[in-house]
Amino acid sequence: MKENSAMQKLPPYLFARIEKKIEEAREKGIDIISLGIGDPDRPTPRHVIDRMAKAIENPANHQYPSSVGMLSFRQAVAGWFARRFGVQLDPRTEIVSLLGSKEGIAHIAFCFLDPGDVSLVPDPGYPVYSIGAILAGGEPYQMPLLESNGFLPRLEDIPEEKARRAKLLFLNYPNNPTGATADRDFFRKVIEFARQYDILVCHDHAYSEIAFDGIRPFSFLELEGAREVGIEFHSLSKTFNMTGWRIGWACGSPQAIEILARFKSNVDSGVFQAVQEAAIAALEGPQDCVEEMRQVYQERRDAVVQGLNRMGWNIKPPQGSIYVWAPVPKGYDSTSFAEMVLEKAGVVITPGIGYGSYGEGYFRIALTVEVDRIEEALQRMYQAIGTLEF
């Protein structure tokens, strides 16, 4: 059998070699510390679990859910959005539930791209931005995120021919993998650019609640004109430690939300209603758990930055997300450095090339283990490789 042309275009799985080395090391009894996966290590808050336990007993939740989401869930989203960002959303027309934001990010390409259409995607960036375009028959165009520009794309550098063919523009701040944040002036330029070329802006705001040093990320939809040209993807995964629950939402442009909802009604049957009830408890319940995790991640971030800088790095603390993005030392590319760290220190880091060609020369550390294990991992690295040159 032969896969279709879209599947043939999917990039190879870069981490296969590293995963094999991890498996080999564990078979030898080596204690591996993984700083590679952005999966929160703390449990889901108790009040969310309790709501789920109660909801699962209700037979009404055992049937097919609505593909757009329960109205009560969308109302909870609207309420949270109003409290958090001061943005009023119509829960009936401007919000659609998602099986995790990843699902919506992939599927939006099927809603708006025809063969030959372009999707503008950040590089380095979450791979699903490009993969969705490829699977939908479109063409991803990589916008470089350079350290010299604060890891923001330069919209003026996008070729006119690509801009005219573009239907989607993906952004993500606070950013995975760089940890960068963006200001309002940048997003005003984005809105103007989207109007000029009739592009739908897709802002992935999965890390909206994880920022440090007093920074409070804003919603793209707060800006004038944003709702006319864009939508925002949100997830409960990182905010409430609910990665395995698979629930999120998209909100914004009523036209775009209706199209995405129509697509979803044909390919999935919505989120299990008990999970939606648990999400309501998260959104409407106490938010002290969110602040607690923000402080946990900041402590871990500081431990990583201090440990790396002791070895010769000179990196500034990232402003948001649950990652630290750092350059590889001289004599290595991102993959060879990750393999060396695994072999010599028993520590897993993620090579930057996995996030796009402009990720080469960097690696990512996820802040998803306790601070004592982070400190142990960095001490192992220091003992194994010492002080490095850059």
* Tens digits of residue pLDDT in 17-35: 677 777 888 888 889 999 9
Look at residue 289 in the predicted model and tell me its pLDDT.
97
Statement: residue 390 has pLDDT above 70:
no
Domains annotated for the chain, with CATH where assigned, are 5-43+289-383 (3.90.1150.10), 46-284 (3.40.640.10)
Per residue in 260-285, pLDDT tens? 999 999 999 999 999 999 999 999 99
User: Strand 118-123 relative to strand 166-171: parallel, antiparallel, unpaired?
Assistant: parallel
Taking residues 33-40, what's their average pLDDT? 92
Give me the percent of the chain exceeding a pLDDT of 90. Answer: 90
Q: Which of 5-19, 58-72, 174-188, 297-311 has the lowest mean pLDDT?
A: 5-19
The mean pLDDT of 313-334, rounded to a whole number, is 96
Q: At residue 13, does pLDDT exceed 70? A: no
Triad 124, 129, 133: Cα angle to 5°? 130
Mean pLDDT to the nearest integer, 60-82: 97
* Measured CA angle at 198 (ends 197, 202), to 5 deg: 105
Q: Is the pLDDT of residue 343 over 80?
A: yes
Angle between helices 273-284 and 46-55 (to 10 degrees): 150
From the list 285, 290, 292, the residue with the least C-alpha distance to 80 is 285
- pLDDT at residue 11 tops 80: no
In SS3 terms, 133-201 reads as HHHCCCEEEEEECCHHHCCCCCHHHCCHHHHHHEEEEEECCCCCCCCCCCCHHHHHHHHHHHHHHCCEE
Asked if residue 351 lies in contact with residue 334, where contact means CB atoms within 8 angstroms, the answer is yes
Phi, psi of 383 (to 5 degrees): -65, -35
Residues contacting residue 249 through CB under 8 Å, at least 6 positions apart:
69, 74, 77, 95, 96, 97, 98, 101, 104, 233, 234
Q: In this model, does residue 323 exceed pLDDT 80?
A: yes
**pLDDT attached to residue 19:** 75
Q: How far apart are CA 212 and CA 83, in angstroms?
A: 20
Model pLDDT for residues 74-130, shown as the tens digit of each residue? 999 999 999 999 999 999 999 999 999 999 999 999 999 999 999 999 999 999 999
What percent of the chain clears pLDDT 70, i.e. is strictly above it? 97
Two tokens, residue 288 = 């002290």
Question: DSSP state, 12?
Answer: P
Q: Is 231 left (phi over 0), alpha (psi -120 to 50) or beta?
A: beta
Phi, psi of 350 (to 5 degrees): -105, 125
- Would you say 96 and 69 are in contact if contact means Cβ atoms under 8 Å apart? yes
How many whole angstroms separate alpha carbon 92 and alpha carbon 95? 7
Beta bridge partners of 211: 320
Of 203, 228, 219, the residue nearest 101 (C-alpha)? 203
Calculate the average pLDDT of the chain.
95
- What are the structure tokens assigned to 335, written together? 């993959």
Backbone angles phi, psi at 269, to 5 degrees: -115, 25
For residue 320, report the phi and psi dihedrals to the nearest 5 degrees: -160, 180
Model confidence pTM above 0.85: yes
